[in-house]
Structures are given as structure tokens and as C-alpha cells.
Amino acid sequence: MSIILRLDRVMADRKMSLNELSDRVGVSNVNLSKLKTGKVSAIRFSTLNAICKVLQCQPGDILEFIDDDKE
């Protein structure tokens, strides 16, 4: 089971930079960069809520489930 983060894709669709998202969400560039590159093992619901609010998206637009057993 793998969860893939698609934050970079949603940000590109919205033409939003990491710095702008960081300022609007109130999360450091470093933490958002880790989210963007998928180098995290957890995300707080409050952070996910803030990101979705700013990007006007659903959590499913950012998170994707890949079933490793089917590969």
C-alpha cells in the first residue's frame, strides 16, 4: 500500500508557488517542500485542511492510493 502525494500537480494547476502557498497556509517552506516531494510519513488534518482551502481542492486531489499488491 502506498499513498502518493500530488501536491506539486495541484499547485501547478493553480499556478501557485511554494512560497505563496507557504505564506497563505502558514506552514514553513521546508515542511511544504517535504510534502511536495513526498518525503513525509504523516500530515496533520489541520494542515491538509488549510492546503485544501487555499488551493480550493479536495484531499483526494492531493493524496492518491496505489495498491502495491496489484502491481
Place of cell 512560497: 19
Q: Which of 2-6, 16-20, 51-55 has the lowest mean pLDDT?
A: 2-6
Per-residue pLDDT of 19-54, as tens digits, reads 999 999 999 999 999 999 889 989 999 999 999 999
Q: Which of 15, 1, 7, 55 is nearest to 31 (CA)?
A: 7
pLDDT above 80 for 1: no
Quick check: 11 and 5 in contact, CB under 8 A?
no
pTM, 2 dp: 0.88
Q: Tell me the domain boundaries of the chain.
A: 2-64
Task: For the domain covering 2-64, report its CATH number.
Answer: 1.10.260.40
Helix (H) or strand (E) holding 1: none
